[in-house]
């Protein structure tokens, strides 16, 4: 082995010994935070699906912002008009008929 290769090997061994588990978490995340993030993710996914189903009259950006503000509570259900009525831009439908 050359001197450069020995230095690299020594460095790698030192890194492995300093970090016996192979990784270090940047910050601890408790279970409730994971649950909240999962709820927000599901809510935003539902917003995107509603936009795909309903089309341009569905305000998916407003829906996504509300998901974050509400921490994932009250996700929209595309098959339930009561849960998506605040995101429907019906005036756009009337102004721009197909």
Rg of the Cα trace of the chain?
25
Given a cut of 60, is residue 9 above it in pLDDT? no
Structure confidence at residue 91 (pLDDT): 83
Higher pLDDT, 94 or 8: 94
Structure confidence at residue 73 (pLDDT): 92
Q: Render pLDDT for 19-72 as a digit per residue (tens, 0 to 9).
A: 444 444 444 557 788 888 999 999 999 999 999 999 999 999 999 999 999 999
Q: Render pLDDT for 81-91 as a digit per residue (tens, 0 to 9).
A: 999 999 999 88
pTM of the model: 0.63
Compute φ and ψ for 22, nearest 5 degrees.
90, -20
């Amino acid at each position: 082995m050359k001197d450069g290769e020995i230095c690299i090997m020594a460095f790698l061994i030192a890194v492995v010994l300093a970090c016996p588990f192979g990784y270090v978490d940047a910050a601890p995340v408790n279970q409730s935070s994971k649950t909240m993030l999962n709820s927000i993710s599901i809510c935003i996914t539902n917003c995107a699906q509603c936009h795909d189903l309903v089309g341009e009259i569905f305000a998916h950006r407003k829906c996504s912002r509300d998901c974050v503000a509400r921490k994932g509570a009250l996700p929209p259900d595309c098959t339930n008009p009561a849960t998506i009525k605040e995101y429907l831009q019906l005036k756009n439908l009337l102004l721009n008929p197909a």
